[in-house]
Amino acid sequence: MILRLSIYPSSLLCLALVASVAQAQKDVPTQNDAVVPVAKDTDTWKKRQDVINARAMQGDVDLLFVGDSITQGWEGKGKAVWEKYYGKRKAMNAGLSGDRTQHVLWRLDHGNVDGIHPKLAVVMIGTNNSNKDDNSAEQIGEGIKAIVGKLREKLPETKILLLAIFPRGEKPNPQREKNAKASEIASQMADNKMIYYLDIGPRFLEPDGTLTIEIMPDANGSRLHPGERGYEIWAEAIEPKVAELLGEKK
C-alpha cells in the first residue's frame, strides 16, 4: 500500500508533463509553407525554369505574366490569342505548370526577373495551393501577397495587375469558395497606384455558376485549364486595364 502511494503522485506528475508538452506543441504556430520559397526537384520543372530565365536574359520585356500551368498555357491552347493581344507588346510568359505560391517565390529569387524592367506584371496564382487541405484560404492569400511583395522589391518601377484565382470545377464548390476567399485576402494589397486588382472570374461562368467544357475543356472534367475560348475571355477582360497600365493611348 505504501509503495502504491509513493508511485501514484509520480505517475500523475508524468501525465501532467506529457499534457503540458502536448499543449505547448499545439500553441506553436504552424509555419505557412505557402510563403516559404522552394524549388521543385524534377527535370521538367528545371527545364522550364531555364527557359524562363533564358527569356529574361534576352531583355526587352514590357509585359510580364506570372503564374502556373494556366499562365504557361498561353503557349499552348492560348497561343493564337497571345499572338493577337501580346505578340507586339514585348511580352514574356513566366508561367510554370504545377507551381504553387512557394515555387513562384523561389523562381523570382532565381533569375525569372533578373535584368528586365517590365512596365506591367500580370499575376494569377494560388489554385494549386487549394487542393484538399494543403493550405487554407488565409495561407494562400498570404502566399499571393508574398509574391506581390517580392515583385515590388525586385521590380520597383513595375506596376502589378493582380487577378483573382480563376474559378474551377463544373459547378460551384468549396474549392472555388476557398480560392475566392484567398483572392479577397490578397486583394487588400491593391493601392491603385502600383498594385491593381481584378476579378474576372464571373466572365468565365454561366448565370448559374456553371463552368462549361468550351471554356475549360480539361479531359478529366476538372474544369481548370482554359481552352482557346477561355484565353480569349481572359485577354478581352483585362485588355482595357493592360492598355491603361502600359501607358498606351486608345
Closest by CA to 137, choosing from 87, 88, 175, is: 175
For residue 7, tell me if it sits in a domain: no
Number of domains in the chain: 1
Burial class (CB in 10 A: 0-12, 13-18, 19+), 230: buried
Q: Which domain holds residue 106?
A: 36-245
What pLDDT sits at residue 3?
41
Helix axes 137-154, 101-108, angle to 10 degrees: 10
What is the CB neighbour count within 10 angstroms for residue 47?
Answer: 9
List per-block mean pLDDT (blocks of 10 residues) for the chain, which spans 250 residues. 42 47 51 97 98 98 98 98 98 98 98 98 98 97 98 98 98 97 98 98 98 95 96 98 92
What pLDDT sits at residue 250?
62
What pLDDT sits at residue 15?
47
For residue 12, tell me if it sits in a domain: no
For residue 140, tell me if it sits in a domain: yes
What pLDDT sits at residue 139?
98
User: What is the residue-wise DSSP string for 177-209?
Assistant: HHHHHHHHHHGGG--SSSEEEE--GGGGS-TTS
Closest by CA to 56, choosing from 18, 109, 4, 5, is: 109
DSSP reduced 3-state for 123: strand
Which CATH number is 231's domain given?
3.40.50.1110
